[in-house]
């Protein structure tokens, strides 16, 4: 089975992360993963303020993708697949976005001005998929639980950053009730993040598009739980 991390951050881009893309790639390789998707916080989330403040769109996108590109270069060197994604923030609802690339972002500066519903439509028109990360997390920085069931394709039913397992249990109930594809993600930011997760795939994704296909066709073989990993 192909072992894929679906949700993680780098310190080049996410203000809350302390591991570089290179360090993340090396850690996941050593843990036996086959691939990782870098999902740094987008401009409406916790990406660095100097990136948010950059007035030139293309430069801003270049700064945003720096963590992914560093991880990708290291992954190519050590033999780990590294794919691009991002985590879009809608006032506390975090939407993992897969299937678009840097060029799409450069070509679509309006994606950050659009409301969340139009954003999701744009991603789907581009052939991408949206997975709601930790939809039932409760924490000091979150004031409410926001659900957008008409706009998502999958639900993260295990998130390593949730403080309590009941937040994952509620996400699983949500996914089962609506029939959403179920995924898992570590949400790893730091070397000490040890509740690692991800998904198992029966095939080898050649691109992020292959993983999008798996999400849209409910073709994920299983969710990885930390207790399944030997490290």
Nearer to Zn ion, 103 or 183 (CB): 183
Beta carbon of residue 202, minimum distance to Zn ion (angstroms, whole number): 26
Question: Smallest gap, in angstroms, from Cβ of residue 19 to Zn ion?
Answer: 12
Query: Minimal CA–CA distance to 159: which of 150, 168, 146?
Result: 168
The residue of the chain with the least Cβ separation from Zn ion equals: 16
CB of 48 to Zn ion, least distance (A): 11
Helix 66-78 and helix 57-64: axis angle, to 10°? 40
Based on CB atoms, which residue is closest to Zn ion, 48 or 180? Answer: 48
Query: Residue 5, interface with Zn ion (CB under 5 A)?
Result: no
Q: Using CA atoms, how far apart are residues 59 and 74, in angstroms rounded to an integer?
A: 22
Shortest distance, CB of residue 133 to Zn ion, whole angstroms? Answer: 6
* Sole binder of Zn ion in the list 187, 199, 211, 214 (CB under 5 A): 187
Q: In the stretch 60-99, what mask flags binding to Zn ion with x, by CB under 5 A?
A: ---------------------------x------------
Q: Is 139 in the site for Zn ion (CB under 5 A)?
A: no
DSSP sequence for 156-208: EEEETT-SSHHHHHHHHHHHHHHT-EEEEE--B-STT-----EEEESS--SSH
Cα–Cα distances (Å) from 207 to 53, 66, 88, 158, 166, in that order, read 31, 19, 21, 23, 33
Q: Which stretch binds Zn ion (CB under 5 A): 21-29, 152-160, 182-190, 217-225?
A: 182-190
The label of the residue with tokens 């198992």 reads 200
Question: Please, are residues 151 and 93 in contact by the beta-carbon 8 Å criterion?
Answer: no
Site of interaction with Zn ion (CB under 5 A): 16, 46, 87, 187
């Amino acid at each position: 089975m192909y072992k894929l991390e679906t949700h993680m951050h780098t310190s080049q881009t996410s203000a809350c992360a302390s591991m570089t893309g290179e360090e993340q790639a090396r850690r996941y390789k050593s843990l036996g993963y086959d691939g990782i998707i870098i999902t740094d916080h987008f401009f409406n989330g916790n990406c660095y303020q100097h990136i948010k403040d950059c007035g030139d769109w293309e430069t801003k996108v270049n700064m945003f993708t720096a963590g992914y590109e560093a991880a990708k270069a290291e992954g190519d060197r050590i033999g780990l697949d590294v794919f691009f994604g991002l985590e879009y923030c809608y006032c506390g609802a975090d939407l993992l976005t897969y299937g678009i690339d840097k060029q799409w972002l450069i070509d679509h500066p309006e994606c950050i001005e659009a409301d969340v519903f139009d954003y999701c439509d744009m991603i789907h028109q581009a052939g991408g998929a949206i997975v709601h990360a930790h939809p039932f997390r409760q924490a000091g920085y979150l004031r409410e639980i926001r659900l957008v069931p008409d706009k998502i394709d999958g639900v993260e039913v295990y998130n390593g950053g949730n403080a309590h397992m009941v937040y994952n249990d509620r996400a699983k109930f949500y996914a089962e009730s609506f029939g959403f594809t179920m995924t898992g993600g570590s949400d790893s930011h730091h070397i000490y993040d040890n509740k690692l997760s991800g998904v198992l795939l029966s095939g080898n994704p050649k691109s992020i598009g292959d993983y999008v296909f798996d999400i849209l066709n409910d073709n994920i073989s299983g969710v990885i739980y930390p207790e399944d990993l030997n490290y």
